[in-house]
Amino acid sequence: MLFDSPAFFLFLIPVVFLYWRLNHRAQNVFLLLASYFFYGWWDWRFLALMIGSTTADFLIAQKIVPAAQNPHRRKWFIFSLVLNFTILGIFKYFDFFVGSFAGMLDNLGLHHIPLPLIRIILPPGISFYTFQEVAYIVDVYKGRIAASRSFFDYGLFISLFAHLIAGPIQRPGHLLPQAQNERTFDPDRFFDGLMLIFSGLIRKCIVADNCALLVNAAFGGQLGPPNLWVVLLGTYGFAWQVYGDFSGYSDIARGCAQLLGFHFMVNFRQPFLAHRLQDFWRRWHISLSTWLRDYLYIPLGGSRLGERKTVRNLFVTMVLAGLWHGANWTFVIFGAIHGIVLPLERFFSPAKAKPRAGSVPAPPTGFFALWARRILTFNILCLSLAFFRAPSLHAAVEFLAGLSNFAWRPEYASAFFLLCLYSLPLFLIDLHLEATNQEYPFANTSYAFRTALAASAFVALGLFSGSNLNAFVYFQF
């Protein structure tokens, strides 16, 4: 049930209609059941896994609250972390590590060694709901939030269908109180939710899906062997594809949440206008980057223990961030590139003042200096995305080796034109949002104007949508 499919809207419309005719308790039960139905639509076999892990953490949380003074608090806390990461590790990384070990033995000349290689299917959204469960357990243990007394409230926080498959990763202190408290219908927020859904559909169906056609051609060899121009088309195109795809998903998720009276955090803030990678990670997939900061980087010591350990903590955090995206060495290299560049940024461009930990130095004041930094940051990002997109390390290295070949073919001109045609509107929107600090374009204009925009977007979706066979990129994570 993809967010851009008719089946999803046939699900969403009656859910929203019935939801607002129930009282608060009934709303939570109804939404939880609807979310389980939504998840079961993907693969009903994994419903028991998600419900089981949700139930385990709900019960464990009662035992680890500071006020309980349970002598086994710490043991229950550690048990929950081990349980969650073991489940995630088995389903997401078992094949990867066993396969890598088999490849190492093969390189050493030990062939045909029998290994317990079991093909394990990845449950949809397991990375996202596992991170939410871990955040909840940590926050309860540290006394930041109270443990939920209602399974329906907690279950809804974990399983609300709008964020279940690909986030944004919701923080317990933000979403759980919204599940616990009564929600009222707000026509303005409902209308804003509809606008976010239209914004997300434009980003996904027009920008991402059309860029995907160019990216698949570049990485698939349809544009000829890799050379400078093919690499630029493939990496630049993939940058706009994954941005349009995931920011589109996040907009639709946030819009659906607002139709139901919930508020989700903003997950993207014009990331391609970042003037350094540290700034990029404050703008890109914000729910993941802040999770990694608060639950991994800072517990490792953050930047408090000296420069050498700060470099270590940054590298470890980014490598694990890369591995979070998938069980492939390409994702490890993607994370490692960021883990190397981030400390280099600190060394070559240190902040003159640090009013708070991890503060980003102010952008250059000159127009040309600012855009030079933005262009450099974007190209470093695109270099790392070549590994993100390639199916293997060998394929990524072969693809990037084409940078030394400058051969030009006439069809590249039309390919670059199409890339500009589909990415430029989103780039202009980001410039507008950066200047106005709005959540979506023209948020402060009249209802009539925004309704006209929505009608235009509906027409554009019918005329310019790309292939409907492209699932959201982050559904695989």
Active-site hit among 111, 325, 394, 432 = 325
Residue 174 among the catalytic residues: no
Burial classification of residue 92, based on how many CB atoms lie within 10 Å of its CB (0-12 exposed, 13-18 middle, 19 or more buried): buried
| 95 Cβ neighbours under 8 A, 6+ residues apart | 117, 118, 119, 120, 327
Determine the Cα–Cα distance for residues 159 and 372; give it in Å rounded to an integer.
43
Q: Judge whether 138 and 224 are in contact, CB under 8 Å.
A: no
Determine the Cα–Cα distance for residues 67 and 131; give it in Å rounded to an integer.
24
Determine the Cα–Cα distance for residues 109 and 405; give it in Å rounded to an integer.
36
Determine the Cα–Cα distance for residues 388 and 338; give it in Å rounded to an integer.
12
Using DSSP, state whether 440 is helix, strand or coil: coil
Determine the Cα–Cα distance for residues 61 and 64; give it in Å rounded to an integer.
5
Q: Judge whether 349 and 361 are in contact, CB under 8 Å.
A: yes
| 352 Cβ neighbours under 8 A, 6+ residues apart | 361
Determine the Cα–Cα distance for residues 204 and 245; give it in Å rounded to an integer.
5
Q: Judge whether 303 and 357 are in contact, CB under 8 Å.
A: yes
What residues act catalytically? Answer: 325
